[in-house]
Amino acid sequence: MIRIARFVLSGEERDPWIADFFAPERVDLSRLVAAARGARVADGVDIVLGERPDATVLVFRRGAVTRDVLGHHPRLRLVQRLGERADDIDLAAAAERGVHVSCVPRRTLHYTAEHALLLVLALAKRLLAADRSVREGGYDLARVRAQDGVAYNWPGFTDASGLYGNTLGIVGLGEVGALVARLARAFGMSVLYHQRRRANPAQEAAVGCAYAPLAELLARSDFVSLHAANLPENDRLADRAFFAGMKRSACFINMSRGRLVDEDALYAALVDGGIAGAGLDVHRVEPRSPRDRFAALPNVVLTPHIGGGARSGVLDELEVLLGNCASALRGEPPRHEVRA
């Protein structure tokens, strides 16, 4: 996202990397160019990676903007974050210096959180098997007893359930993980989370979840949803020990990246009954072949990395971000401003 913004601001919006990023979708970046007018290299503005003392606008996605950082940028007019959380921005210090702060909500992250709950629901409700039974039959009609025109659960599923009263374990309480936690709470679930750096009590209370060591989270959760950062140290985070620590009745969800899962270990857990099911929107190799071993498993729900919606949806977020950069240079307040 930041890379696309830099390309547009630098006048490199025709770089082939952008077309590859959005493929197979086709996008028109002209509205981004229009939004950024006045903030581009062509307008005499310097665009640099990293911090620079004479910066007017600081754009970032992850990291912290502290009082010290603000003090190193005396000309700063705008701190622009791609994402709606302002936890790591010193809003009081920004206000003292007259620096605007904008945190752009990302619709695509909300969609991703929704998709995680979609997979949880699909597994809990036996959605694929239920749909197939209506379309294709295969149940014992002689055992069905319709009463007053109602034949409840005519295929005879004994493991269809729901979310209420169950426990969701979230590994990685970033922006998406926090959104998933809030949605899960609305369904009446208890929510545990684990990450390397524990959130502060105010953040835990705002999200409505409790911290647990990873082993405890795996042992207690009915659904485990992976939202850890796509970092080298997280490669195959979900390994054989991870799945061995889960309940045999639990299901695993991956909305992060395929590389974070040891798929051999996951496959073995699914086939051997180590866990009950899995919902995967991301995959070790994308696209996943329709003849892949996971595609043959009845206890797996697979989607083609569409949790965030169409990839072109990021254009809405970038349009706001780039427009705010241009507004800051004109001395105008930004959209989605956050105050102390």
Catalytic residue among 12, 51, 96, 286: 286
- What is the distance between the alpha carbons of residues 318 and 192, in angstroms, rounded to a whole number? 33
- What is the distance between the alpha carbons of residues 100 and 91, in angstroms, rounded to a whole number? 9
* The pLDDT of residue 4: 95
Of the pLDDT bands very low, low, confident and very high (cuts 50, 70, 90), residue 295 is very high
Average pLDDT, the chain: 95
Q: Where are the beta strands (DSSP E) in the chain?
A: 57-60, 78-82, 100-104, 167-171, 190-194, 210-211, 223-226, 251-254, 277-280, 300-302
Beta pairing class for 57-60 and 78-82: parallel
**CA-based R_g, the chain, Å:** 23
pLDDT digits (tens, 9 = 90+) for 101-114: 999 999 999 999 99
Q: What percent of the chain has pLDDT over 90?
A: 90
Instruction: Kindly report the backbone phi and psi dihedral angles of residue 337, in degrees, each rounded to the nearest multiple of 5, phi listed first.
Output: -70, 140
- What is the distance between the alpha carbons of residues 331 and 245, in angstroms, rounded to a whole number? 55
The pTM assigned to this predicted structure is 0.91
DSSP SS3 for 277: strand
pLDDT digits (tens, 9 = 90+) for 28-66: 999 999 999 999 999 999 999 887 888 999 999 988 999
- What is the distance between the alpha carbons of residues 21 and 28, in angstroms, rounded to a whole number? 13
| Residues 6 or more apart in contact with residue 299 via CB below 8 angstroms | 123, 270, 276, 277, 278
Which domains can be identified in the chain, with CATH numbers? 2-104+311-329 (3.40.50), 109-125+161-302 (3.40.50.720)
Any catalytic annotation for residue 263? no
**Overall average pLDDT of the 146-152 stretch:** 90
Q: Give residue 172's region: left, alpha or beta (phi > 0; psi -120 to 50).
A: left
pLDDT digits (tens, 9 = 90+) for 111-136: 999 999 999 999 999 999 999 999 99
Out of 62-66, 77-81, 304-308, which region has the weakest mean confidence (pLDDT)?
62-66
The answer, yes or no, to whether residue 91 has pLDDT greater than 90, is yes
Any catalytic annotation for residue 305? yes
**Overall average pLDDT of the 304-328 stretch:** 96
Rounded to the nearest 5 degrees, what angle is found at the Cα of 50, between the Cα atoms of 22 and 230? 50
Catalytic residue among 257, 259, 284, 288: 257
* The pLDDT of residue 50: 81
Any catalytic annotation for residue 12? no
- What is the distance between the alpha carbons of residues 315 and 106, in angstroms, rounded to a whole number? 10
The amino acid sitting at 24 is: P
- What is the distance between the alpha carbons of residues 298 and 283, in angstroms, rounded to a whole number? 17
Structure tokens at 112: 């991703």
* The pLDDT of residue 141: 86
pLDDT digits (tens, 9 = 90+) for 164-185: 999 999 999 999 999 999 999 9
pLDDT digits (tens, 9 = 90+) for 255-289: 999 999 999 999 999 999 999 999 999 999 999 99
* The pLDDT of residue 114: 98
